[in-house]
């Protein structure tokens, strides 16, 4: 099931015109709730990351800011802003492809300790790292 949804996230990322194309899918009980890609430049909104866009759409669709029981699939490791939104939305599972160190091998971006960050969350969040990493690597150019 994870592979099916990550393939949707990859297809969504390909719609992005950003240099680092990212896609996200939110599911619950094996059903896609929302899909999105990053749109910072086209929307002139620095917060328009794929994960944030997907969370906004899922909340609207479900009529609730809490996305309990949901999984978010991300082609890239969520940044701190996106992790915060995931925590606030009460998403219970994250599956991501590329890590920050894969995306920014020269260290031009900050490192964060995802486990430490999530250990402070009010609820348990399962994380599956580097899922379909090879397939996600082609999205960065």
Structure tokens, 130: 């580097």
Tell me whether residue 68 is one of the annotated catalytic residues. no
Burial string for 9-23 (b: 16+ CB within 10 Å, else e) reads bbebbeebebebbbb
What is the Cα–Cα distance from 93 to 70, expressed in whole angstroms? Answer: 7
The single residue of 51, 68, 77, 115 carrying the catalytic annotation is: 51
What is the Cα–Cα distance from 124 to 108, expressed in whole angstroms? Answer: 30
* 118, 127 Cβ separation under 8 angstroms: yes
Catalytic residues: 51
């Amino acid at each position: 099931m994870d592979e099916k949804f990550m393939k949707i996230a990859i297809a969504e990322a390909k719609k992005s015109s950003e240099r680092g194309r990212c896609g996200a899918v939110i599911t619950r009980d094996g059903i896609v709730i929302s899909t999105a890609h990053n749109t910072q430049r086209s929307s002139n909104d620095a917060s328009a990351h794929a994960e944030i866009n997907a969370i906004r759409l899922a909340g609207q669709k479900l009529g609730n800011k809490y996305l309990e029981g949901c999984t978010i699939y991300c082609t890239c490791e969520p940044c701190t802003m996106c992790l915060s939104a995931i925590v606030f939305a009460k998403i219970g599972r994250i599956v991501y492809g590329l890590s920050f160190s894969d995306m920014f091998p020269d260290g031009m971006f900050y490192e964060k300790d995802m486990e430490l960050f999530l250990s402070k969350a009010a609820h348990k969040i399962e994380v599956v790292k580097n899922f379909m990493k090879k397939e996600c690597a082609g999205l960065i150019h």
